[in-house]
Each structure stands twice: as C-alpha cells, then as structure tokens.
Amino acid sequence: MTSPALDALLARIVDSGLLDEPVAENGLVYGRATIDAAGTVVSVNVDPELEDHDEVDEDELLEAIARILSVNESRWRAVIDEVAADIEDAVDDEAPVIEQTDLRDDLEATSVVVFADALLLAFDAPKQFPDSRILVQLDEELEVSGIEVRERDGVETVEFDTLDDLLDHISGPDED
C-alpha cells in the first residue's frame, strides 16, 4: 500500500518520462534509466523521505533525477576521476597490486538513489573490488561529498569446527 504523496510523485515521474516503468513501493519510486555520460542503464530509486517530511517537493526530486541523468561527460569524468583518486590514495601502497586495470576503467555505475538534497551513486568495480560496492554521495551541484567502499550485502558466512557444531546450529537452541 502506498501513500497519496508517493502516488502523486509516481504520477509526476510517469508523466515526465524520466524513468522506464516506474513503480511505487515501500516508500520509494523506482525504475530504470540511462545515464548518457556513463553510457549505462542504472536502477533509479527516488526516496521522498516520507518518514522525515510531511510534504514532498516533487519538483525538486524531478530536477534531481533529470540532473543526474543528463550530467555532461566532463562532469561525469570529474566524478570518476575524484572517486578513483580518493580510493587509490586510501589504499595501502605496501599491498601487492594484483589487478593492473585502472580503477577509472573498472568503475561501472549500477544504481542511483535520489534524495531532494543529495544523490547516492553505486558502482561496481569487478576487477579491483569484486566483493564490494563503491558508494558515492553527490551534492546538488553534482560534486562528490562522500565516498565509501562497502562489502556487498549478502549471506553471512559462518564457519564451524565440526559437523556436530553445524548440526547444532541448524537445529536451533535447545528447548528445555
């Protein structure tokens, strides 16, 4: 079930044609779109932050969607360069380099989360960070305001010393 504010935002997004097949669920509007400067199709989640705001500024959200989808190539390249440089600076120079691919060439945009006052881009870097996602926050001017390399969400790996320990874990706690 969606709220009237979310339904109104969905209607505006549908009318705008910015997203392919947008849907409203779980407090978000989501769909797919192409970032031309990146040459890739991404998932786009629009978060009107209904839990924090009584009213939704639909115009502001639509402008933010349009801004990231129509980013020019020089601005996109500047974002990629800054992300790569910051990550390269943070990586320990003493660690052996296994993958020789430039991070700039490895970064693949996969999704965008649109907030009224910020954008969150998610990138994969399958050669250099195969088990992680790179999250990049952009401000309203599409300037990088934060970068985080985060392990992928997934199933927790649990190791057991013996088969009996595994069976105990699977069967759950003892009921006395």
Q: Is residue 25 part of a domain?
A: yes
**Predicted confidence band of residue 167 (pLDDT cuts 50, 70, 90):** low
Sheet of 40-46, strand order: 20-25, 28-35, 40-46, 108-114, 119-125, 129-138, 144-151
pLDDT digits (tens, 9 = 90+) for 121-139: 999 999 988 888 999 999 9
Length of the chain, please?
Answer: 176
Q: Is residue 43 part of a domain?
A: yes
pLDDT digits (tens, 9 = 90+) for 5-22: 999 999 999 999 999 999
Write the CB contacts of 125 (distance below 8 Å, at least 6 apart in sequence). 103, 106, 107, 108, 132, 134
Write the CB contacts of 151 (distance below 8 Å, at least 6 apart in sequence). 131, 132
% residues pLDDT > 70 (the chain)? 80
Q: Is residue 169 part of a domain?
A: no
Instruction: Say what the pLDDT of residue 161 is.
Output: 55
Q: Is residue 99 part of a domain?
A: yes
Q: Is residue 85 part of a domain?
A: yes
Cα 21 → chain centroid = 19
Q: How many domains does the chain have?
A: 1
Instruction: Say what the pLDDT of residue 170 is.
Output: 53
pTM of the model: 0.79
**DSSP-assigned letters across all residues of 30-70:** EEEEEETTTTEEEEEEE---TTT-SS--HHHHHHHHHHHHT
Q: Is residue 159 part of a domain?
A: no
Q: What is the CA radius of gyration of the chain?
A: 20
Least Cα distance to 48 among 95, 12, 91, 90 occurs for: 12
The residue segments making up the domain with residue 58 are 4-151
CA distance 161 to 165: 7
pLDDT digits (tens, 9 = 90+) for 76-123: 999 999 999 988 888 755 455 455 678 899 999 999 999 988 899 999
Q: What is the DSSP letter of 97?
A: P
